[in-house]
Amino acid sequence: MSARILNKRQLAPEITLLDVEAPRIQRRWRAGQFIIIRPLEHSERIPLTIVDSCAERQSITMVIQAVGKTTREAVALEPGESLCDLVGPLGEPAEICTGERVLCMAGGVGVAELLPVARAYKEAGNTVVALCGARSDSYRILDEELRACCDELHWATDDGTFGFHGNVVQLLLSLAGPRSFAEGHVIGPIPMMKAAAEATREWGLKLHASLNPIMIDGTGMCGGCRVTVGGQVRFACVDGPCFDAHKVDFDEMTRRTRAYRDLEQIALQHDCRIGLGR
Ligand code: FAD
Ligand code: FES
Ligand code: MG
């Protein structure tokens, strides 16, 4: 079903927020779930996290980092235009504990994906400490929204232009140690999630990682999003996307997400006019 774009906002270089009309998803979604969109008729399908919603406008919010062909097609659309189709909510909601001191960690566009989870933790009566990483000050996103739902928000920038100078895992190690948190949620680039899992392995912390493998159908049919967790095969679109970070095989996931890099580059450079209805 197509979905009209109501609002568009540039949050940072290459990072765009879109509010789209989606009444049924707006009524049902929960923190941690995602949608699959096809921006144009000829586009491939891509998964995006549901970041927020508005009951009054019957809309949901997504935040998109333009990294390749399909994300660029999505962010080129303007208010009044429509996404060709959108399906969701997909995946299992994030597991939210109550009454604990929790760690919320994110890097890059993962900061947007963290927002609904941080909010859900806060609403469930937890003390929420968010650690967010960005390349540089100009790449920090949703600071105000996160401050409104977190007890503490700390930033790390790679170039030291805001907050801690370094990455978000170094920031974690500078602020916390074993028993600092009962539970946590990490989302962002795979090397960051892997480093967060390694750093906290002996801390007695239950750390959920929201995984971002390649997804195609989002319904458990194609096998594209296969990941290994604790030696078991799992499908991130239906069994996840959140799993125990200390049990995820991040090296396998890295290999699988890189499998089509050459083709992705060709797709970006070459405006193919055969196939897929064009
Ligand atoms: P391409 O050039 O085709 O690919 C660039 C890289 O993106 C690839 O190397 C691969 O690692 C990854 N990728 C490519 N195709 C897919 C695909 N079908 N599914 C997943 N990853 C892919 N990004 C955001 O900007 N905001 C979000 O809120 C967000 N939420 C996500 C939630 C989930 C559950 C998952 C799995 C991914 C999420 N992503 C999100 C990542 C986003 O789906 C990819 O950046 C996008 O698919 C890239 O497509 P492309 O054609 O623009 O880039
Ligand atoms: Fe096809 Fe998960 S995306 S099985
Ligand atoms: Mg692509």
Q: How far is the CA of 112 from the centre of ligand 3 (A)?
A: 20
Same fold, 3-90 and 96-208: no
Q: What is the pLDDT of residue 259?
A: 78
pLDDT at residue 278 greater than cutoff 70: no
What digits encode the pLDDT tens for the residues 223-254?
999 999 999 999 999 999 999 999 999 999 99
Q: Considering only CA atoms, which residue is closest to atom 43 of ligand 1?
A: 47
Q: Considering only CA atoms, which residue is closest to atom 24 of ligand 1?
A: 64
Global pTM reads 0.95
Query: What would be the CATH architecture of the domain defined by 96-208?
Result: 3-Layer(aba) Sandwich (3.40)
* Strand 164-165 versus strand 152-157 pairing type: parallel
Q: What is the pLDDT of residue 270?
A: 75
pLDDT at residue 277 greater than cutoff 50: no
Q: Is domain 3-90 classified as CATH 2.40.30.10?
A: yes
Give the dihedral sign, CA 95/166/50/228: negative
Mutate to test the pocket of ligand 2, among 38, 215, 234, 253 (most ligand atoms within 8 A of CB): 215
**Domain positions in the chain:** 3-90, 96-208
Q: Compute the average pLDDT of residues 190-199.
A: 96
Is there an atom of ligand 1 within 6 Å of 235 CB? no
**Burial class of residue 82 (count of CB atoms within 10 Å of its CB; 0-12, 13-18, 19+):** middle
